[in-house]
Each structure stands twice: as structure tokens, then as C-alpha cells.
Amino acid sequence: MKRAAAALAVAALAATAQASEICYAPAEGAATTPTADTVFACPVAGSHTIDQLAQLGWRVVALKPVSLGGTQTAAQLLLRRAAATDAIFADGFERRGP
């Protein structure tokens, strides 16, 4: 049962790999909150602010601080490419098209 669940999770990640992105803000000596001017470095999307990434069709899934070792930290941004069939309705729930 656990193997089947793990296999499904891997398949789901593989299917969405092209539509996901993990980006990082510059390393800091102490945890800081990103601002509208913070530039995140993304392997596929390039280096942009959150607003610029949104304009390019990316949605923020999560934003969290991560430790880079020692006293260095950085903000990690998990993005998902907005699909043409995705929609967020007035009730706040996301629905995908066929």
C-alpha cells in the first residue's frame, strides 16, 4: 500500500515537473522577510521579483526560510506555472478544466 502511494507521488511530481520551480533569494546572515524588491533566482524562470514572476504566469505555492548552513539563510520560493485551464473561483477554491 505504501509503495503504491509512493509511486503515485513520484508520478505526480514527474507530471508537474515542467510546471514547477524552486527559487531562492540571496543568502542573508539572518532570516529576513522578502520585500517587493527581492529578486529570486530561478533555474527556468530566471531572476525576477515575485511581481515579475506573477506577470510571467507563475503562481506562488509556498514561501519559507531555509538554512544554508552555519548562519546563512535564504528565502525559498516554490512556484507553479498557471495553466490555461486553471481557475480560481469566487469561493476561493481552485478548479482545473478537462
- pLDDT tens per residue, range 35-73: 899 999 999 999 999 999 999 989 999 999 998 888 889
Round to whole Å and give the CA distance between 27 and 90. Answer: 38
**How many domains is the chain partitioned into structurally?**
1
Q: Is residue 60 part of a domain?
A: yes
In a domain, 12, yes or no: no
User: Which of the two residues, 82 and 20, has the higher pLDDT score?
Assistant: 20
Do residues 52 and 41 lie in contact, with contact meaning Cβ atoms separated by under 8 Å? no
Q: Contact 40/25 with Cβ under 8 angstroms?
A: yes
Is residue 98 assigned to a domain?
no
What's the Cα-to-Cα distance from 39 to each of 23, 57, 72, 91, rounded to whole Å?
Answer: 10, 16, 17, 32
The DSSP code for 38 is: P
Whether the full predicted model's pTM is greater than 0.85, yes or no, is no
Q: Domain range spanning residue 25?
A: 20-82
pLDDT given for residue 47 in this prediction? 96
Does residue 10 belong to any structural domain of this protein?
Answer: no
Q: How far is CA 16 from CA 3, 6, 71, 75, 90, in A?
A: 20, 16, 33, 22, 25
Domain assignment present for 71: yes
